[in-house]
């Protein structure tokens, strides 16, 4: 059951920041499809790679890259590109092919299926609030068709530490010139989204999925929703 709060808990909010993966779309199927397309590209362009890479070994490859190149672990674009480079090199191919392979993966990684009402809700909220993105992922909002919905976008990178680190939240707050409490961050992850935003004094909306439960030892979010329609109802009813 959602913890939709309506007694002025969001009064004074000026900016809504959104997580992307698993908040505006279901992420695991997208990554699975993108990795399948990458393996197909390997089969057609560097077939020896397929002998060494499948769904299981891709996960192992990721762990290897994170361990060997910890500086890029927070940048999903650099991390994925390095995974492709090493896969090619280990099979005897030139790592120069990695750009083409990454393009195949990235195109598919941005072919998401938006949750119901996503565009309508963003359009409606954008009439009342400034909208931002704070994400640890690297989906291309231009390819998805949502880039014009947001006035500010923060993506994790080497120079932009990932949530729950406060850097992206603080940067967003400073960009809009607001008090921390005037930012409400919406996301599904208890640690990176809710606790990360709480730590800088922002208000929080937890996008709860059916398999999630809130840890009772943690400070509760300002509100909880289970759909984007509930999110719309929360903010637009309070600011009608």
Q: What is the pLDDT of residues 15-51, one digit of tens each?
A: 999 999 999 999 999 999 999 999 999 999 999 988 7
The answer to whether residue 5 sits within a structural domain is no
The answer to whether residue 1 sits within a structural domain is no
Do 57 and 120 share a structural domain? no
- Note down the domain range covering 39: 28-109
Do 175 and 120 share a structural domain? yes
Do 169 and 50 share a structural domain? no
Indicate the number of domains in the chain: 2
The answer to whether residue 157 sits within a structural domain is yes
Do 133 and 91 share a structural domain? no
**Cβ–Cβ < 8 Å for 222, 114:** no
Do 125 and 44 share a structural domain? no
- Mean pLDDT of all residues in the chain? 92
Do 214 and 166 share a structural domain? yes
Do 230 and 173 share a structural domain? yes
Q: Is the pLDDT of residue 4 over 90?
A: no
Do 66 and 173 share a structural domain? no
Do 22 and 42 share a structural domain? no
Its pTM stands at 0.91
Do 206 and 134 share a structural domain? yes
Q: What is the pLDDT of residues 131-162, one digit of tens each?
A: 999 999 999 999 999 999 999 999 999 999 99
Q: Is the pLDDT of residue 239 over 60?
A: no
Do 121 and 19 share a structural domain? yes
Q: What is the pLDDT of residues 45-89, one digit of tens each?
A: 999 988 766 556 667 788 889 899 999 999 999 999 999 999 999
Angle separating helix axes 55-68 and 76-90, nearest 10 degrees: 110
Specify the residue for token string 């072919």.
111
pLDDT of 63: 85
Given 77, 109, 141, which residue is the final one in a domain?
Answer: 109
Please give the average per-residue pLDDT across 95-123, as a whole number. 96
Given 61, 84, 109, which residue is the final one in a domain?
Answer: 109
The answer to whether residue 10 sits within a structural domain is no
**CATH number of residue 136's parent domain:** 3.40.50.1000
**Cβ–Cβ < 8 Å for 169, 152:** no
**CATH number of residue 103's parent domain:** 1.20.120.1600
Q: What is the pLDDT of residues 157-198, one digit of tens each?
A: 999 999 999 999 999 999 999 999 999 999 999 999 999 999
The answer to whether residue 199 sits within a structural domain is yes
d(CA 208, CA 230): 11
- Residue spans of beta strands (DSSP E) within the chain: 15-18, 130-135, 152-155, 183-187, 203-207, 223-225
Q: Is the pLDDT of residue 5 over 60?
A: no
Q: Is the pLDDT of residue 207 over 80?
A: yes
Do 76 and 41 share a structural domain? yes
Given 68, 87, 109, which residue is the final one in a domain?
Answer: 109
């Amino acid at each position: 059951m959602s913890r939709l709060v309506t007694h002025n808990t969001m009064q004074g909010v000026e900016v809504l920041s959104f997580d992307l993966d698993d908040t505006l779309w279901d992420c695991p199927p997208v990554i699975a499809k993108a990795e399948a397309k990458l393996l197909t590209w390997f089969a057609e362009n560097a077939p020896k790679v397929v002998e060494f890479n499948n769904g299981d070994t891709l996960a192992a490859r990721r762990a290897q890259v994170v361990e060997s190149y910890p500086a890029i672990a927070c940048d999903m674009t650099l991390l994925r590109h390095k995974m492709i480079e090493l896969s090619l090199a280990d099979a005897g191919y030139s790592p120069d092919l990695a750009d083409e392979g990454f393009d195949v993966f990235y195109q598919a990684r941005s072919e998401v299926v938006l949750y119901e009402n996503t565009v309508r809700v963003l359009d409606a909220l954008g009439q009342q609030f400034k909208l931002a993105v704070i994400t640890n992922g690297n989906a291309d909002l231009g390819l998805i068709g949502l880039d014009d919905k947001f006035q500010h976008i923060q993506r994790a990178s080497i120079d932009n530490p990932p949530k729950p680190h406060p850097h992206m939240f603080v940067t967003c707050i400073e960009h809009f010139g607001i008090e921390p409490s005037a930012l409400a961050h919406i996301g599904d992850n208890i640690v990176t989204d809710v606790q990360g935003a709480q730590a800088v004094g922002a208000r929080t909306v937890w996008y709860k999925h059916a398999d999630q439960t809130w840890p009772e030892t943690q400070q509760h979010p300002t509100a909880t929703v289970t759909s984007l329609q509930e999110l719309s109802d929360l903010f637009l009813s309070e600011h009608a």
